[in-house]
Every structure is written in structure tokens, then in C-alpha cells.
Chain A
Amino acid sequence: MRFVLAFMRFWYDFVVGDDGWIAAGVAVILGIGAALVSADVLADAVLTPLMAVAIVAVVMARVVAGARSSSRNSDRAGVPVDLRDR
């Protein structure tokens, strides 16, 4: 059991890395996209650019927000929060 957990932990760290919110954001947007495709409410020519803009905007906003929040917390604690960010 410990081996399975360690194996899953390794792959989570390897693919997702330090900021799970970025992966979560991508998953939510693709989930919405999947629902829109299933419902067949938008043409490909509209849906694909819409998805692209949503993904790029959300992940870049999260990168900045995550870095700022780490920076603020580290100022308060007097230690670089990025150490806990691994």
C-alpha cells in the first residue's frame, strides 16, 4: 500500500508539481468544454478559440496570483514560502 501511495505521489509531483490549482483550473475548463461539446451547442470554430482563451487566461492569472500569495505569506512569516511550495 505504501509503495502504491509513493508511486502515485511521485507521478503527481512529476506531472502536476508545486501548484495543483493550475491543474485544477485546466481540468475545470476542459470539463466545461466537454459538456459544451456533448450538448452540441457551439460550432467548432467558436468553441476551440473560446477554450484556448479560457485556458491561457486562467492559468496565467493563477501563476501570478500563486506567486503573489507565496510572496505575501513569506513576508508575514519572515521565511520564503516557496520552501513549502515543493
Chain B
Amino acid sequence: MSLDAIDLGLMAAVILASAVEFVEALTIVLAMGVSRGWRSTLIGTGLALVGLALVTVVAGYALVEWLPESLLQLFIGTLLLIFGLQWLRKAILRSSGLKALHNEDEEYRAQQAAAQRAGHDERLGLDWFAFVVSFKGVFLEGLEVVFIVITFGLNADSIPTAAAGAGVAAAIVLIVGAIAHRPLSNIPENTLKFAVGVLLSTFGTFWAVEGLGVFAAGSESLEWPVGDLWLVILLVAYVVLSRLAVATLRRGSGPGRPAAVPAD
């Protein structure tokens, strides 16, 4: 099997994005498991994973059935672009010191404190607090992964490759988390988010522009002058301009500036 630029970009973006989100989900699951017990926590986590798989299958195949190719490229490309720019914007703000870096240790302590404060409410034989928090944490963090898997997978016509990328990232994070048995706070989270933001914005721009062909007489996708090479040009442009943005914003931060706000 040969991998082209789109397949490689797909795998890289999905693995990196999934790793970041799974690290954040792992922090919540660990905090609940250690503070409230593992049974309810793992049931909540498992149900969230089943829900995410269902969302991927239903939304993925529904979109393929309903939308013609060029409209799919425009719709999904635009969503991917806007979503990716959100990641890139936050990474630029964090790199330039205008937003605090995400701190997994702090998040873990906050989750544990909340778990210890919460009363014991048993429903369906489960510790309801541990179940709900782990379900919500895994589902919401995983939803970003599902969004990337569906958007990338549909446009590259390769949902199984995208889903496999997410699976690889999940396995790596789970194995490392199980060995470390603590939140994974030493990974360069902002660098990963920066890379994901650049990749999503690059592919989003590429596909959204191609999809404008839906407005042409034959509704065929537009053709880039040098084909997939434009992906590299866009990637370089986003990287260079992002680094320039960070340098510009850092220069603008004077000594009297307020401290960066906590990360979200």
C-alpha cells in the first residue's frame, strides 16, 4: 500500500490531535478512578467510547450518502478550516504568552478535589459522580477526535485510515498512562496543538477552495495548478505566518501586561 501526501497528512493530524485529546481525557479518568473507584469510572469511559464510535459511523456515512463530492469538499473543508484555525489561534496565543499553557497536573488536582468534595449518589448500582464525569470527559474530548476523523476521512475517502490513526494514538496514551499511573504532564502539548492546527488549516483551505467547484456549471471540483503540491505551499505559509504572529505578539507584550489567563 502506498501512502500519498494526503494519507500522510491524514495520519499525522489524526494521531497528533487524538493524542492531545486522549491525554486530557486520561487525566479526568485517572482522577475519578483514583478518588472514587475504578468500576463506575471505567463503565462511564467505555459507554462514552461506544457513543463516539456510533457518532462516527452514523455521521460519516450519512454525510457521504447525502452530499455530492464537491459540496462535501466545500462543507467539510470549511468546517475543518474554521475548526483548525481555532486550534492554531490558541496555540499562537499560548506560544506568545497571552494564554496560559494547559497544565495536566493542575487539572488532575482540580478534578480530584471535586471528586472528594462530591457526595455519594448511587444510581443503577454505579457511583453516579464518577460515571457521569468520566463519561462526559471522554465523550467531549473524544468528540474533537471524531470530528477530525470524519472530516479528514471523508475528504480523503479513507475513514478507516483516520479511525486507525485515532486508535493508534489511544493505544499509545493508554499504555503510557497505565505505566506512568499519573497524568501525562511532560508532553509538549502546545507544540502538538500547533502542529494539529497547521495541518487542519492546511487541508481545510485546500478542500474548501476545491469544493467551490460546486458553483460551476458542471459542479466539478476546482483543479489546483500543481495538484497536491499546493498542500506543501499552504503548510509552509501557515507555519511561517504563525511563527511571525508569535514573534509579533511577543514583541507587543510589555512589562505592564496582565498575566496570561488560565488555559481552557
Contact = CB atoms under 8 A, between A and B. Distances in A.
A48 B230 contact: yes
A13 to B, nearest CB: 10
B201 to A, nearest CB: 8
Residues of B contacting A: mostly: helix
A80 to B, nearest CB: 4
Contacts of A15: 79, 82-83, 86, 147
Assign chain A's interface to a size class. 35 or more
Contacts of A19: 86, 89
Interface residues of B, number: 53
A54 to B, nearest CB: 10
A56 B249 contact: no
Contacts of A44: 213, 222-225
13 contacts: A26-B81, A26-B82, A26-B208, A37-B212, A38-B215, A44-B213, A45-B225, A55-B81, A56-B237, A60-B238, A63-B88, A70-B98, A82-B261
Given A16-B86, A37-B216, A47-B222, 14 more contacts: A19-B89, A26-B208, A30-B78, A30-B208, A33-B209, A34-B212, A48-B230, A52-B237, A64-B245, A64-B248, A67-B98, A71-B257, A82-B93, A86-B264
Interface of A: 14-19, 22-23, 26-27, 30, 33-34, 37-38, 40, 44-45, 47-49, 51-52, 55-56, 59-60, 63-64, 66-68, 70-71, 74-75, 78-80, 82-83, 86
